[in-house]
Amino acid sequence: MKETRILIIEDDPKIVRFLELELQHEGYEVESAYNGRTGLEMIMSGGYDLVLLDVMLPEISGFEVLRRIRQDKDIPVIMLTAKDDVTDKVKGLDLGADDYVTKPFAIEELLARVRGALRKKEIISQNLTVYRVADLELDSANHTVTRASSTRDLTKKEYDLLKFLIENKGIILTREQILQHVWGFDFFGNTNVVDVYIRYLRAKIDDEFDEKLIQTVRGVGYSIRSCAHEI
């Protein structure tokens, strides 16, 4: 059975060593990074099941690390901080943190939160399904997209956009709805970014095919559906 891999990103060596020992005792495989830049590079190399992320880090802050993680990955993240500040907690959660623990913390509480985050991830993964529109298929368990049995290589944001469209196939979605769901409440920009990513997506899944699945509804937004009106 594959061991659960946890990455600690924390600049205090004593806290890192304490967490390493406790997590290893619980049966987790543990690796550590002492600054935000190294931690982010390790995350992007893949393979971790959960991240314990300090807010106050050298080189790149924990908030910035979290923001970059959420651009590409859905890995559970528990924030660690010495600040008992509601504003910081709200910011971390809005950026996509799964949980937030204030130092000093009881190790039993942290371990319970780790188990909770991993359990939530497992429940979500068990409920993942395969979505289809005509000959387009999105397999959310394996995070793959194919059209006419040919694999399409999408970025994280393109994948999220396509998944939102397919989850609502046959329904016209406004740019504001797409922006809110795919980019989130903390996105500072205008709805033109939706049009840009729709173009990216069309280039990968529609342009080479006679049947165009992504439809533009002028003055409203976008919808995905087959010419046979499969809904």
Residue ranges of domains in the chain: 5-126, 130-224
CA distance 180 to 3: 35
- Give me the residue label for tokens 């393979």: 47
List helix spans (H) across 51-135. 62-72, 86-94, 107-126
Residue 72 has pLDDT above 80, yes or no: no
The mean pLDDT value for 87-100 works out to: 81
Q: What is the pTM of this model?
A: 0.57
pLDDT at 168: 87
The mean pLDDT value for 105-120 works out to: 90
Cis peptide bond prior to 104, omega within 30° of 0: yes
CATH of domain 130-224: 1.10.10.10
pLDDT at 230: 43
| Mean pLDDT lowest among 18-22, 144-148, 193-197, 226-230 | 226-230
**Percent over 90 (pLDDT), the chain:** 52
CA distance 186 to 179: 10
CATH topology match: 5-126 vs 130-224: no
Query: What mean pLDDT is reported for the chain?
Result: 87
Residues contacting residue 29 through CB under 8 Å, at least 6 positions apart = 3, 4, 5, 6
The mean pLDDT value for 167-188 works out to: 80
* Per CATH, domain 5-126 is 3.40.50.2300: yes
| Mean pLDDT lowest among 50-54, 55-59, 193-197, 226-230 | 226-230
Lookup: tokens for 47: 């393979």
